[in-house]
A and B are shown apart, each in its own frame.
Chain A
Amino acid sequence: MANPAPGAEVIKVDGADKSFGAVRAIKNVSFSVAAGECVGLVGHNGAGKSTLVNIINGGLAADSGTVRVEGMVLGGHHTIATARDHGVRSVFQELSLCPNLTVTENTHIAHASLNGWGWRRRAEAMIRAKLAEIFPGNSIDCRRMVGELSIAERQMVEIAMAFSETGAQARLVILDEPTSSLDASLATQLLGYVRSFVASGGAVVLVSHILGEILAASTRVVVMKDGAIVAARPAGEFTIPTLVAAMGSVARERDRRVTAPATSGALVLSEPGVAGSIAFAANAGEMIGLAGLAGHGQTRMLVGLFMTQGGDWRARRDQKVVFVAGDRFVDGTFPRWSILKNLTVSLLRDLSRFTLLRLAGERQVADDWKLRIGIRTEDLDNPILSLSGGNQQKVLFARALATRSPVVLMDDPMRGVDIGTKQEVHALLRAETDKGRTFVWYSTEMDELCQCDRVYVFREGKIVGELRGDDVAEAQVLAASFAGAVA
């Protein structure tokens, strides 16, 4: 291995800014990784971790600031391809293998230089050796299709591929939640390999929600919050409680409505707790928060709650639940339609006579909601995509609130929405709960969770904690979201 001397800078980000619409994801962040170090990167949802990681690996271009790879400024030409040429590799949370190819064949896709006669044999030897080096004793059959492997095996293959060497040597490997589907012994093997890789002059950026792993593998820990780096110290100077404290904010005045006792209304929705998960229950008039790191099963539960209500074959007039999408492109908007049609799609049965729509009635309802929720447009017949993200989200809220359904499921609907819109919608939601509506609200924003009567905290697909009343506070949510942090 011809690794650079320890201490030589592999990557350096200087004063990087990145905004998505109205939201500044990271603000003036400077960050560097040197050969021979493993940097642990931690922070809660929206802290800016994934934006920073994507700027390093070339997936995103920063709005301002510079990125230097091995001392060279790559400027606007820093792409995933150039990053790879300089030995910057990433293991993404979303799997990037081709499920219909074997492990060996995927190795060929990732390393184009494995070509010519006998490529299959060479690719297999290489990936086998790397898998054996990182995960000794594994029994992955490299001739099997990736789609047939378990999720853990897929993740192992992906990790081995990032560390393997052909053409450009792996200098910096970014591991984003690498152990999310590995069991404890495999995770230990990986962390051991990370330490030896670092010791031999490689560099690693490790993102994980398991703080014990961060402290065990990293040489240095960088804590992010609200798009900025708030602490960066050698790992030895942190303990789990001090890490959690560093991620939190200064104690904030709780902005929460005075509520009736939490179990006032009748039970409207429930799900039994299975396999180590706490049971879920929602009562009439409650505002229930779903917390935890993004992607830990909150959306899946909300969609599951919606689907189990039926309605595949016939629309129900007394639909019990409605859904407010957060991922607007995937779950929410109908891009060919006007604002009006997007708003009324869940109301069609109430707006029709003998299955024919009463168009005047439809327009009246839409106009009412345009005023009530403040959709900023001249004409409701404009296409939905002519609206800003926040206003599109208001349309989705209006779509749900205009129905008569007593339960509203919300899948982190405020992501990427400006603060003004948020406050308007919060006020509306409060008024609706007072009328007896129930909200189940998955949110990645702490101030929103703090408005809820009760909060369920998710980790690894299960509900691991339930907070009520005054316990609903940032420190408690953080502690439950990160494994190993609960005493």
Chain B
Amino acid sequence: MNILKQAFARPWIWSFAATLAVWLVTIAFTGGASTLGLSQAALTFAAFSIIVGLGQMFVITLGPGNVDLSIPATMTLAGTLSLKLMDTQNALVIPGLLVAIAVGIAVGVGNYGLINLLRIPPIIATLSSSFIVQSTAIWSNRGLRIKPPPSIADFSTGATLGLPNVAIVALVLSLIAWVVLEKSIFGRQISAIGQNMRAARLAGVPVDGVRFSTYVLCATLAALCGFLLSCFSGGAALNMGTEYLLTSIAVVVIGGTAVAGGFGNVPGIWGASLFLFLVVSMLNTYGASAGVRLLLTGLTIIAVVLAGSRTIAKPIGSD
């Protein structure tokens, strides 16, 4: 009883419960024929939103007003530039990866530079930098669709022991993120800043340094995701990041990370990402359209924040 109570006190348990329910319903509908395929597809597509969601989670945990809107542009630029450099040659995979990471670091440094130097809210800083990053991507892409080197293309579409490789990458990154968030100085400091920036500064937390690192981390994860996604889908497309702007925020919010900051949640991102994908495929098996899918996603987000607001209004331990 107590264990159950504890489990349900964790906000992310709901996204997993919902995911499981949707998964079972879909399997039941298709008579179990597609169990393996559906699970693999879910893990593959969820992996991309998990990777960007991790970065967005760290940023949102920094407190009200912190959000990174440059994620889609960063993904596109990293994918475009790295594919261009690799030029379908297997030998250049590592340099290509490094270019992607360099793009991420550069965008992150630029973002926090704008926030700090121009004293503008993160939302407008990342917005204006995303315009420039997106333009750079368009300019460097020139409408050409360069294929990824075969080795990395095989890797990103392949599976190991039945698990999609991208999901394994996402899992490793999530484990690292979880350790950073829960067990490291950096995670504590992010959480402190998100709860009360002034108190954090007065407790000796290096606020500028932590926020800077967080924005760089977020952009780097976005760049990595862009690299993987472009290799997975056989080339970088200019609109490849678009859907991840709202998705990255949605998975963080549904996953139980506090919108007001100060409390991040890694497992919840998995639950939310899988849930979002499975809702889509469930509706697809029922023959529902993309419109219904979007509609339900939106209503889910609103329902989740509404449910969250109720628990905040009630003082802790009142029952």
CA distance A313 to B198 in the complex (A): 15
Interface string of A379-411 (1 = CB under 8 A from B): 000010110000000000001000100000000
Query: Does chain A have a CB within 8 A of B42?
Result: no
Interface of B is mostly: helix
Among A322, A323, A334, max chain B CB count under 10 A is at: A334
Q: A193 to chain B: closest CB distance in Å?
A: 39
| A331 CB contact (under 8 Å) in B183, B191, B198, B258 | B198
Residues A399 and B195 in contact, CB atoms below 8 Å apart: no
Residues in B with CB closer than 8 Å to A313 are: 206, 208-209, 212
* Residue of B185, B196, B198, B203 most packed against chain A (CB within 10 A): B203
A-B contact pairs, 11 of them (CB 8 A): A311-B206, A312-B207, A315-B206, A332-B202, A334-B196, A334-B200, A337-B191, A345-B200, A346-B203, A348-B185, A356-B183
CB within 8 A of A311: which of B185, B195, B204?
Answer: B204
**Nearest chain B CB to A397 CB, angstrom units:** 13
Distance in Å: Cβ of A449 to nearest Cβ of chain B: 23
Q: How far is the CB of A403 from chain B (nearest CB, A)?
A: 8
Question: In the bound complex, do residue A355 and residue B198 qualify as a contact, i.e. CB atoms below 8 Å apart?
Answer: no
**Contact for A334 among B184, B185, B192, B209, CB less than 8 A:** B192
Assess whether A355 is in contact with B184, with CB atoms less than 8 Å apart: yes
| Structural contact, A336 and B199, CB atoms closer than 8 A | no
> How many residue pairs, one in A and one in B, have C-beta atoms under 8 Å apart?
86
Residues in B whose Cβ lies below 8 Å from that of A341: 188
CA–CA, A349 and B183, complex, Å: 13
* Residues on the B chain within 8 Å of A383, using CB: 316
* B184 engages A399 (CB within 8 Å): no
A322 to B209: give the CA distance in the assembly, Å: 19
Q: Which of A303, A307, A314, A330 contacts B206 (CB 8 A)?
A: A314
Set of chain A residues within 8 Å of B212, measured between Cβ atoms: 313
User: Would you call B265 an interface residue if the criterion is a C-beta within 8 Å of the partner chain's C-beta atoms?
Assistant: no
With the chains together, A322 CA to B204 CA distance in Å? Answer: 7
The answer on a CB contact under 8 Å between B207 and A337 is: no
**Would you call A323 and B184 a contact (CB within 8 A)?**
no
**Judging by beta carbons under 8 Å apart, are B191 and A356 in contact?**
no
Asked whether A315 lies within 8 Å of B205 as measured between CB atoms, the reply is: yes
Chain B positions near chain A (C-beta within 8 angstroms): 179, 183-186, 188-189, 191-192, 195-196, 198-209, 212, 258, 262-263, 316-317
Contact yes or no, A348 B189, CB < 8 A = yes
| Minimum distance in angstroms from B120 CB to a CB of chain A | 18
Residues of A within 8 A of B262 (CB): 334, 336
Q: How far is the CA of A297 from the CA of B262 in the complex (A)?
A: 31
Q: Is B316 within 8 A of A355, CB to CB? A: no
CB pair B199–A331 under 8 Å, yes or no, is yes
In the bound complex, how far is the Cα of B152 from the Cα of A72, in angstroms? Answer: 83
Once A336-B262, A337-B191 are accepted as A-B contacts, the answer to whether A331 and B185 lie under 8 Å apart by CB is no
Query: 15 other contacts beyond A313-B206, A334-B199, A355-B186, with CB at 8 A cut-off?
Result: A306-B202, A312-B207, A313-B209, A314-B206, A323-B203, A325-B199, A332-B202, A336-B258, A341-B188, A346-B203, A348-B188, A352-B185, A355-B185, A357-B185, A359-B183
Contact between B183 and A336 (Cβ–Cβ < 8 Å)?
A: no
A333 at the binding interface (Cβ < 8 Å):
yes
* B185 pairs with A330, CB closer than 8 A: no
Interface residues on A, range: 35 or more
List, in ascending order, chain B residues with CB within 8 A of A385's CB.
316
Q: Which residues of B contact A359 (CB under 8 A)?
A: 183
Q: Complex: how many Å from CA A346 to CA B191?
A: 13
Checking B188, B191, B206 against A357 with a beta-carbon cut-off of 8 angstroms, the contacting residue is B188
Q: How far is the CB of A396 from chain B (nearest CB, A)?
A: 9
Within the assembled complex, what's the spacing in Å between the Cα atoms of A142 and B90?
Answer: 72
Is A433 located at the chain interface by the 8 A CB criterion? no
> Within 8 Å of chain B (Cβ to Cβ): is A76?
no
With A357-B184, A383-B316, A386-B317 in contact, is A312–B206 under 8 Å at CB? yes
Contact B191 A315 (CB under 8 A): no
Please indicate the chain B residues that have their CB under 8 angstroms from the CB of A303 in the complex: 202
CA distance A349 to B202 in the complex (A): 16
Kindly list chain B residues whose C-beta atoms are within 8 Å of the C-beta of A348. Answer: 185, 188-189
Q: C-beta contact mask, A354-392 vs B, less than 8 Å → 1, else 0?
A: 011101000000000000000000000001011000000
Do A345 and B317 form a contact, CB below 8 Å, given A311-B204, A331-B202, A357-B183? Answer: no
Quote the shortest CB–CB distance from A326 to chain B (angstroms). 11
Tell me whether A325 and B202 are in contact (CB under 8 A).
Answer: yes
CA distance A359 to B188 in the complex (A): 12
Known: A336-B263, A355-B185. A323 touches B192 (CB 8 A): no
> B196 to A335, Cβ gap below 8 A?
yes
Chain A contacts for B195, CB-based, 8 A: 334-337
Q: C-beta contact mask, A217-246 vs B, less than 8 Å → 1, else 0? A: 000000000000000000000000000000
Contact, CB under 8 Å: B209 / A349? no
Which residues in B have their C-beta under 8 angstroms from that of A180? Answer: none
Q: Which of B185, B205, B207 has the most CB of A within 10 A?
A: B185
B202 to A345, Cβ gap below 8 A?
Answer: no
Report how far A334 CA is from B61 CA in the complex, Å.
Answer: 13
Q: How far is the CB of A301 from chain B (nearest CB, A)?
A: 14
Knowing A315-B204, A386-B316 are in contact, say whether A345-B186 is a contact too (CB < 8 A): no
CB-defined contacts of A314 to chain B, threshold 8 Å: 206, 209
Give the residue name and chain of the B residue nearest to A321 (CB).
Answer: B204
Complex Cα–Cα for A8 and B199 (A): 50
CB distance from B188 to the nearest CB of A (A): 6
Residue of A nearest to B193 (CB): A334
Nearest CB of chain A from residue B104's CB, rounded to whole Å: 21
- A-side contacts of B208, CB under 8 Å: 312-313
**Whole-angstrom distance from the CB of B315 to the nearest CB of chain A?**
8
A319 at the interface (CB under 8 A from B): yes
The CA-CA distance from A313 to B199 in the complex, in Å, is 16
* With contact pairs A325-B202, A334-B262, A399-B203 given, residues A349 and B185 touching in the complex (Cβ less than 8 Å): yes
> CA–CA, A341 to B212, complex, Å?
23
- How near does chain A come to B186, taking the closest CB pair, in angstroms? 7
- Bound complex: CA of A314 vs CA of B185, how far in Å? 12
B192: A residues at CB distance < 8 A: 334, 337, 345
Q: Which 4 pairs, one residue from A and one from B, show the smallest C-beta to C-beta distance?
A: A313-B209, A312-B208, A334-B195, A348-B185
CB of B6 to closest CB in A, whole Å: 13
Tell me which residues across on chain B come within 8 A of A325, comparing CB atoms. Answer: 199, 202
Q: Which residue of B lies closest to A333 (CB)?
A: B199
Q: Which of A314, A325, A337 has the most CB of B within 10 A?
A: A337
| Bound Cα distance A40, B207 (Å) | 46
Quick one: closest A residue to B195, CB to CB? A334
**B196/A312 in contact, CB under 8 A:** no
Taking CB atoms, residues of chain A closer than 8 Å to B316 are 383, 385-386
List, in ascending order, chain A residues with CB within 8 A of B317's CB: 386
Shortest CB-to-CB span from B93 to chain A, Å, is 30
Do A333 and B204 touch across chains, with their CB atoms under 8 A apart? no
- Most chain A beta-carbon neighbours within 10 Å: one of B183, B204, B208: B204
How far apart are B278's CB and chain A's nearest CB, in angstroms?
Answer: 30
Shortest beta-carbon distance from A198 to chain B in Å: 42
Q: Which of A312, A346, A403 contacts B209 (CB 8 A)?
A: A312
Which chain B residue shows the least CB distance to A347?
B204
Contacts of A355 in B (CB 8 A): 184-186
Q: Could you tell me the distance in whole angstroms from the C-beta of A142 to the nearest C-beta in chain B?
A: 30
A341 vs B201: C-alpha distance when bound (angstroms): 16
A311 to B207, CA, bound (A): 8
